[in-house]
Amino acid sequence: MKNKLLLKLLVAAIAITFAGQSVLADTTVVKKRGFFESLFGSSPRRQRPPRPAFWWNRNNDVNIVYGSDYGQDQFNSQDNSDANYDGPESIPGLGMGNPSYAAPKQLLLADPAFAKLTAADGQSQAILTELTSLKTRIRAPLDERQPILDFYKANGFKPLWLSAGAPSERAKAVLAFAAKTDEDGLDSLNYLPVGLNTFADAAQVGNDPQKLAQFDIAMTAAALKMARQISGGQFEPNRLSLDNDITPERVDANVALQVMAY
Protein backbone atom coordinates (compact mmCIF):
# COMPACT_ATOMS: atom_id res chain seq x y z
CA MET A 1 0.00 0.00 0.00
CA LYS A 2 2.79 2.32 0.96
CA ASN A 3 4.77 1.45 -2.19
CA LYS A 4 1.76 2.34 -4.40
CA LEU A 5 1.33 5.66 -2.58
CA LEU A 6 5.01 6.56 -3.03
CA LEU A 7 4.84 5.61 -6.70
CA LYS A 8 1.81 7.90 -7.24
CA LEU A 9 3.54 10.79 -5.47
CA LEU A 10 6.68 10.32 -7.59
CA VAL A 11 4.67 10.30 -10.84
CA ALA A 12 2.81 13.43 -9.75
CA ALA A 13 6.08 15.26 -8.92
CA ILE A 14 7.56 14.37 -12.31
CA ALA A 15 4.43 15.59 -14.08
CA ILE A 16 4.47 18.91 -12.20
CA THR A 17 8.16 19.42 -13.03
CA PHE A 18 7.67 18.88 -16.78
CA ALA A 19 4.57 21.05 -16.73
CA GLY A 20 6.54 23.90 -15.16
CA GLN A 21 9.30 23.55 -17.71
CA SER A 22 6.73 23.65 -20.47
CA VAL A 23 5.26 26.90 -19.09
CA LEU A 24 8.71 28.46 -18.88
CA ALA A 25 9.48 27.35 -22.41
CA ASP A 26 6.31 28.97 -23.65
CA THR A 27 7.19 32.32 -22.02
CA THR A 28 10.87 32.40 -23.07
CA VAL A 29 11.69 34.60 -26.06
CA VAL A 30 14.13 32.81 -28.30
CA LYS A 31 16.43 35.25 -30.11
CA LYS A 32 16.68 34.53 -33.79
CA ARG A 33 20.21 33.81 -34.92
CA GLY A 34 21.57 36.29 -37.39
CA PHE A 35 23.37 35.50 -40.64
CA PHE A 36 26.87 35.90 -39.19
CA GLU A 37 25.96 33.94 -36.05
CA SER A 38 24.76 31.11 -38.25
CA LEU A 39 28.08 31.13 -40.09
CA PHE A 40 30.51 31.67 -37.25
CA GLY A 41 28.60 30.77 -34.10
CA SER A 42 27.69 33.07 -31.22
CA SER A 43 31.08 33.47 -29.60
CA PRO A 44 31.65 37.04 -28.35
CA ARG A 45 33.35 39.37 -30.83
CA ARG A 46 36.89 40.45 -29.95
CA GLN A 47 37.04 44.10 -28.93
CA ARG A 48 39.63 46.17 -30.78
CA PRO A 49 41.72 48.23 -28.35
CA PRO A 50 40.93 51.96 -28.60
CA ARG A 51 43.18 53.88 -30.96
CA PRO A 52 45.24 56.55 -29.22
CA ALA A 53 44.32 60.15 -29.92
CA PHE A 54 46.86 61.73 -32.24
CA TRP A 55 48.09 65.30 -32.01
CA TRP A 56 45.48 66.76 -34.35
CA ASN A 57 42.46 65.67 -32.26
CA ARG A 58 43.69 65.75 -28.69
CA ASN A 59 42.09 69.08 -27.85
CA ASN A 60 40.30 72.00 -29.44
CA ASP A 61 43.02 74.63 -29.34
CA VAL A 62 46.10 75.66 -31.23
CA ASN A 63 49.15 75.32 -29.02
CA ILE A 64 50.92 78.66 -29.42
CA VAL A 65 54.63 78.51 -28.65
CA TYR A 66 56.16 81.86 -27.73
CA GLY A 67 59.85 82.74 -27.59
CA SER A 68 61.02 80.11 -30.09
CA ASP A 69 62.97 80.78 -33.27
CA TYR A 70 60.77 81.72 -36.18
CA GLY A 71 61.71 78.85 -38.48
CA GLN A 72 60.01 75.98 -40.29
CA ASP A 73 61.77 73.46 -38.03
CA GLN A 74 60.71 75.10 -34.77
CA PHE A 75 57.27 73.57 -34.27
CA ASN A 76 57.40 72.24 -30.72
CA SER A 77 54.62 69.68 -30.87
CA GLN A 78 55.23 66.88 -28.40
CA ASP A 79 54.90 64.40 -31.26
CA ASN A 80 57.56 65.95 -33.49
CA SER A 81 60.01 63.20 -32.64
CA ASP A 82 57.39 60.44 -32.21
CA ALA A 83 58.40 57.37 -34.18
CA ASN A 84 54.71 56.44 -34.41
CA TYR A 85 53.74 59.74 -35.99
CA ASP A 86 50.71 59.15 -38.18
CA GLY A 87 49.67 62.65 -39.18
CA PRO A 88 48.27 63.94 -42.46
CA GLU A 89 51.30 66.14 -43.19
CA SER A 90 54.86 65.21 -44.05
CA ILE A 91 56.18 67.50 -41.29
CA PRO A 92 55.07 66.62 -37.75
CA GLY A 93 53.60 69.62 -36.01
CA LEU A 94 51.90 70.94 -39.14
CA GLY A 95 48.46 69.81 -40.14
CA MET A 96 44.73 70.10 -40.11
CA GLY A 97 43.48 70.28 -36.55
CA ASN A 98 45.42 71.38 -33.49
CA PRO A 99 49.11 71.85 -34.29
CA SER A 100 51.65 73.87 -32.40
CA TYR A 101 52.12 77.35 -33.81
CA ALA A 102 55.55 78.89 -33.35
CA ALA A 103 54.89 82.58 -32.85
CA PRO A 104 57.53 85.06 -34.04
CA LYS A 105 60.45 85.37 -31.66
CA GLN A 106 60.07 88.41 -29.40
CA LEU A 107 63.14 90.66 -29.30
CA LEU A 108 64.06 93.38 -26.83
CA LEU A 109 62.79 96.73 -28.03
CA ALA A 110 66.10 98.52 -27.45
CA ASP A 111 69.25 99.53 -29.29
CA PRO A 112 72.40 100.19 -27.22
CA ALA A 113 73.75 102.32 -30.08
CA PHE A 114 71.21 104.98 -29.12
CA ALA A 115 73.41 105.79 -26.12
CA LYS A 116 75.42 108.10 -28.40
CA LEU A 117 72.34 110.19 -29.18
CA THR A 118 70.62 113.00 -27.26
CA ALA A 119 67.05 114.29 -27.16
CA ALA A 120 65.67 117.84 -27.07
CA ASP A 121 63.63 117.68 -23.85
CA GLY A 122 63.30 115.69 -20.65
CA GLN A 123 60.46 113.38 -21.68
CA SER A 124 62.07 112.61 -25.04
CA GLN A 125 65.34 111.90 -23.22
CA ALA A 126 63.52 109.46 -20.94
CA ILE A 127 62.19 107.62 -24.01
CA LEU A 128 65.68 107.57 -25.50
CA THR A 129 67.08 106.13 -22.27
CA GLU A 130 64.44 103.40 -22.21
CA LEU A 131 65.10 102.49 -25.84
CA THR A 132 68.81 102.18 -25.02
CA SER A 133 68.46 99.88 -22.00
CA LEU A 134 68.80 96.12 -22.45
CA LYS A 135 66.89 95.71 -19.18
CA THR A 136 63.63 96.82 -20.77
CA ARG A 137 60.63 94.52 -20.44
CA ILE A 138 59.16 95.62 -23.75
CA ARG A 139 59.58 93.26 -26.70
CA ALA A 140 58.47 93.07 -30.31
CA PRO A 141 58.89 90.66 -33.24
CA LEU A 142 61.69 91.37 -35.70
CA ASP A 143 59.45 92.84 -38.41
CA GLU A 144 57.99 95.35 -35.92
CA ARG A 145 60.97 95.99 -33.65
CA GLN A 146 63.16 97.84 -36.15
CA PRO A 147 60.37 100.04 -37.56
CA ILE A 148 59.53 101.17 -34.00
CA LEU A 149 63.16 102.00 -33.22
CA ASP A 150 63.54 103.84 -36.53
CA PHE A 151 60.30 105.74 -35.96
CA TYR A 152 61.32 107.08 -32.53
CA LYS A 153 64.78 107.97 -33.78
CA ALA A 154 63.44 109.84 -36.82
CA ASN A 155 61.06 111.83 -34.61
CA GLY A 156 63.64 112.83 -32.02
CA PHE A 157 62.22 110.31 -29.48
CA LYS A 158 59.14 112.46 -28.95
CA PRO A 159 56.29 110.69 -27.15
CA LEU A 160 53.42 109.37 -29.24
CA TRP A 161 50.86 108.71 -26.53
CA LEU A 162 51.52 111.43 -23.93
CA SER A 163 50.07 114.89 -23.45
CA ALA A 164 50.98 117.39 -20.73
CA GLY A 165 52.93 114.78 -18.80
CA ALA A 166 50.20 112.13 -18.76
CA PRO A 167 48.66 109.47 -21.06
CA SER A 168 46.71 111.31 -23.77
CA GLU A 169 43.00 110.94 -24.46
CA ARG A 170 43.93 109.29 -27.76
CA ALA A 171 45.92 106.66 -25.83
CA LYS A 172 42.92 105.98 -23.60
CA ALA A 173 40.67 105.69 -26.66
CA VAL A 174 42.99 103.13 -28.27
CA LEU A 175 43.14 101.13 -25.03
CA ALA A 176 39.33 101.12 -24.85
CA PHE A 177 39.20 99.88 -28.43
CA ALA A 178 41.78 97.15 -27.72
CA ALA A 179 39.78 95.95 -24.71
CA LYS A 180 36.87 95.08 -27.03
CA THR A 181 38.80 93.17 -29.70
CA ASP A 182 37.53 89.90 -28.17
CA GLU A 183 34.25 90.76 -29.87
CA ASP A 184 36.01 90.38 -33.22
CA GLY A 185 37.57 87.00 -32.45
CA LEU A 186 40.92 88.34 -31.25
CA ASP A 187 42.56 87.92 -27.85
CA SER A 188 42.46 91.38 -26.30
CA LEU A 189 45.18 90.56 -23.75
CA ASN A 190 47.64 90.36 -26.63
CA TYR A 191 47.28 94.13 -26.93
CA LEU A 192 47.61 95.08 -23.27
CA PRO A 193 50.75 97.25 -23.05
CA VAL A 194 53.57 95.96 -20.84
CA GLY A 195 53.32 97.51 -17.41
CA LEU A 196 49.53 97.75 -17.29
CA ASN A 197 47.35 95.26 -15.43
CA THR A 198 44.14 96.31 -17.15
CA PHE A 199 43.14 98.53 -20.04
CA ALA A 200 41.92 101.11 -17.53
CA ASP A 201 45.31 101.45 -15.80
CA ALA A 202 46.61 104.28 -17.97
CA ALA A 203 45.38 106.85 -15.45
CA GLN A 204 47.54 105.19 -12.79
CA VAL A 205 50.83 105.55 -14.67
CA GLY A 206 51.75 108.64 -12.66
CA ASN A 207 54.02 111.52 -13.64
CA ASP A 208 57.44 109.93 -13.39
CA PRO A 209 59.20 110.59 -16.76
CA GLN A 210 60.72 107.12 -16.95
CA LYS A 211 57.43 105.34 -16.24
CA LEU A 212 55.74 107.56 -18.79
CA ALA A 213 58.47 106.68 -21.29
CA GLN A 214 57.89 102.97 -20.68
CA PHE A 215 54.17 103.47 -21.15
CA ASP A 216 54.65 105.34 -24.43
CA ILE A 217 56.91 102.68 -25.94
CA ALA A 218 54.78 99.79 -24.69
CA MET A 219 51.70 101.52 -26.07
CA THR A 220 53.33 101.89 -29.48
CA ALA A 221 54.33 98.20 -29.56
CA ALA A 222 50.84 97.06 -28.52
CA ALA A 223 49.01 99.35 -30.94
CA LEU A 224 51.22 98.29 -33.85
CA LYS A 225 50.69 94.61 -33.08
CA MET A 226 46.94 95.20 -32.95
CA ALA A 227 46.89 97.09 -36.26
CA ARG A 228 48.84 94.38 -38.05
CA GLN A 229 46.83 91.50 -36.62
CA ILE A 230 43.50 93.17 -37.34
CA SER A 231 44.57 93.67 -40.96
CA GLY A 232 46.16 90.26 -41.53
CA GLY A 233 45.16 87.90 -38.72
CA GLN A 234 46.92 86.56 -35.64
CA PHE A 235 48.45 83.58 -37.48
CA GLU A 236 50.11 82.85 -40.79
CA PRO A 237 47.79 80.17 -42.23
CA ASN A 238 50.55 78.24 -44.01
CA ARG A 239 52.31 77.79 -40.69
CA LEU A 240 49.23 76.03 -39.30
CA SER A 241 48.95 73.63 -42.21
CA LEU A 242 50.74 73.05 -45.50
CA ASP A 243 47.27 72.77 -47.03
CA ASN A 244 46.77 76.51 -46.49
CA ASP A 245 48.09 78.45 -49.46
CA ILE A 246 46.70 81.88 -48.56
CA THR A 247 48.96 84.67 -47.39
CA PRO A 248 46.95 87.56 -45.90
CA GLU A 249 48.73 90.89 -46.20
CA ARG A 250 49.27 92.81 -42.99
CA VAL A 251 49.52 96.55 -42.98
CA ASP A 252 53.12 97.72 -43.37
CA ALA A 253 54.61 98.54 -39.96
CA ASN A 254 56.10 101.84 -41.12
CA VAL A 255 52.81 102.96 -42.66
CA ALA A 256 50.90 102.02 -39.50
CA LEU A 257 53.29 104.01 -37.33
CA GLN A 258 52.96 107.09 -39.53
CA VAL A 259 49.16 106.86 -39.37
CA MET A 260 49.27 106.52 -35.58
CA ALA A 261 51.54 109.57 -35.34
CA TYR A 262 49.49 111.88 -37.57
For residues 108-117, average pLDDT: 97
Question: Residue 84 has what pLDDT?
Answer: 46
Q: Supply the pTM of this predicted model.
A: 0.67
Q: Name the more confident of 16 and 254.
A: 254
Question: Residue 32 has what pLDDT?
Answer: 58
Question: Residue 227 has what pLDDT?
Answer: 95
HSE at residue 12, side-chain half, CA atoms within 13 A, is: 6
33 pLDDT more than 50: yes
3-state class of 218 per DSSP?
A: helix
Instruction: Give the least confident one: 177-181, 185-189, 225-229.
Output: 185-189
Give 12's contacts (C-beta < 8 A, 6+ positions apart).
none
For residues 80-91, average pLDDT: 44
Average pLDDT, the chain: 76
Give 158's contacts (C-beta < 8 A, 6+ positions apart).
123, 124, 127, 152
Domain boundaries, the chain: 106-261
Instruction: Give the least confident one: 3-12, 73-82, 149-158, 232-241.
Output: 73-82
CA dist 44 → 34, 48, 224 (Å): 14, 12, 65
Q: What is the DSSP string of 79-110?
A: TTT-TT---SSSSTT-SSSS-EEEPPPEEES-
Question: Residue 79 has what pLDDT?
Answer: 39
Question: Residue 188 has what pLDDT?
Answer: 94
For residues 8-37, average pLDDT: 52
Dist. CA 172–CA 220, nearest whole Å: 13
Question: Residue 148 has what pLDDT?
Answer: 98
139 pLDDT more than 90: yes
